[in-house]
Amino acid sequence: MTEDSLPLTGIHVLTLCVNVPGPAAARRLREMGASVTKVEPPGGDPLSNSNPPWYKALSTDQKIIRLNLKEPGDRSRLESYLEHTDLLLTSSRPAALERLGLGWEKLHSSYPHLSQVAIIGYPPPEEEVPGHDLTYLADLGLLSPPELPRTLLADLAGAERAVSCALALLLGRERGQDAGYAQVSLARVAETFAEPLGFGITRPGAPLGGGLPGYNLYRASDGWIAVAALEEHFWQSLLHELRLRNAAKEDLQKIFLRKTAKDWERWAAERGLPVAAVYDPHENSKKEEMQ
């Protein structure tokens, strides 16, 4: 697909977001063809210091400018960009945006063509309460102390939710509706992603929480493997290939200790079975291992 044929070609996005959720959303919109201008504070995006490679990946093919929005001259530059912007992405708390004169009512009055997606932490009436990915997951029972999570679930899920809200606003405008405003609460998105736990299906001992021998983690001779033979045909195929009529977790565990995790992964790939080696994040990534 060429740049001109991408669905958001001709759409101009301005983002004031730093760190992860907003930049991840902006990247997705850019991948769909939108032109993206990113406004960073004078000190830059904190992610550019904490993880330069990821910062670069999230801002590829975007125009980066640095503005001090408390300075009149820089505010004028921002306003000139807003005049030609279809969608504004923000990730500051609402009170901070109001202090900068960037509250939705004022923006909509000054730029009636402009839609906005505002990424916030907790939903109203707690939208001013500080939080981060870790606290949202803590609230929902998605942490296993003392280990920290290996991904930023709320941030990245929130980014995808922001993209879907942006697409809905842009589609509505194309259908003759007014430009609109949407809030994306990272805590509320994390709550949605915690539904499997809330409904009990991933709790310890539940079907997807270790209760099924065909959907479980097993030790191999040198590490761990993930077995996801959830559907009956996969389960029966796994039993057939292992020459078993039926099996409990203990039976499978004895067998899986006979080979390495990579050996089992290759064995399963040859037979079309959903089994994967669990790779240690302290070693090379799985992608590097497979190359």
> Are 223 and 161 in the same domain?
no
175, 196, 217 - which closes a domain:
196
**Distance separating the N- and C-terminal Cα atoms of the chain:** 27
Mean pLDDT for the stretch of residues 136-140: 97
> Are 117 and 227 in the same domain?
no
Q: Which domain holds residue 111?
A: 3-196
Q: Report the distance separating Cα 80 and Cα 65, nearest Å.
A: 13
CATH number of the domain residue 238 falls in: 3.30.1540.10
Mean pLDDT for the stretch of residues 160-169: 98
- pLDDT band, residue 97 (cuts 50/70/90): very high
CATH number of the domain residue 132 falls in: 3.40.50.10540
At residue 130, the pLDDT reads 94
CA angle at 255 for the pair 252 and 257, rounded to the nearest 5° = 110
Segments in the chain forming alpha helices (H): 21-31, 47-50, 52-58, 72-82, 94-99, 104-110, 133-139, 153-174, 186-193, 195-198, 232-241, 249-256, 261-271, 286-290
Amino acid at 73: G
Side-chain half-sphere CA neighbours of 7 within 13 A: 9
Q: Report the distance separating Cα 247 and Cα 236, nearest Å.
A: 10
State yes or no: pLDDT of 291 exceeds 70. Answer: no
196, 217, 236 - which closes a domain:
196
Buried b (16+ CB within 10 A) or exposed e, 252-280: bbeebeebebbebbeebeeeebbbbbbbe
> Are 17 and 133 in the same domain?
yes
At residue 182, the pLDDT reads 98
At residue 284, the pLDDT reads 59
Q: What beta strand segments (E) does 169-230 contain?
A: 181-185, 215-219, 224-228
> Are 189 and 224 in the same domain?
no
Amino acid at 278: V
At residue 287, the pLDDT reads 47
pLDDT in tens, 7-52: 999 999 999 999 999 999 999 999 999 999 999 999 999 999 999 9
> Are 235 and 178 in the same domain?
no
196, 216, 241 - which closes a domain:
196
- CA 85 to chain centroid: 25
Q: Report the distance separating Cα 78 and Cα 14, nearest Å.
A: 9
At residue 84, the pLDDT reads 95
Q: What count of other Cβ atoms lies within 10 Å of the Cβ of residue 137? A: 20
> Are 183 and 223 in the same domain?
no
Contacts of 279 (CB under 8 A, 6+ apart): 285, 286, 289
> Are 173 and 230 in the same domain?
no
> Are 250 and 153 in the same domain?
no
* Domain-located, residue 202: no
Mean pLDDT for the stretch of residues 235-252: 97
At residue 290, the pLDDT reads 42
The single residue listed with the structure tokens 């945006």 is 97
> Are 69 and 176 in the same domain?
yes
Whether the bond into 72 is cis, omega within 30 of 0: no
State yes or no: pLDDT of 150 exceeds 60. Answer: yes
* Domain-located, residue 201: no
The one-character DSSP state at 87 is E
Q: What is the pTM of this model?
A: 0.90
Task: Classify 5 as helix, strand or coil.
Answer: helix
> Are 34 and 164 in the same domain?
yes
* Count of domains observed in the chain: 2
> Are 150 and 75 in the same domain?
yes
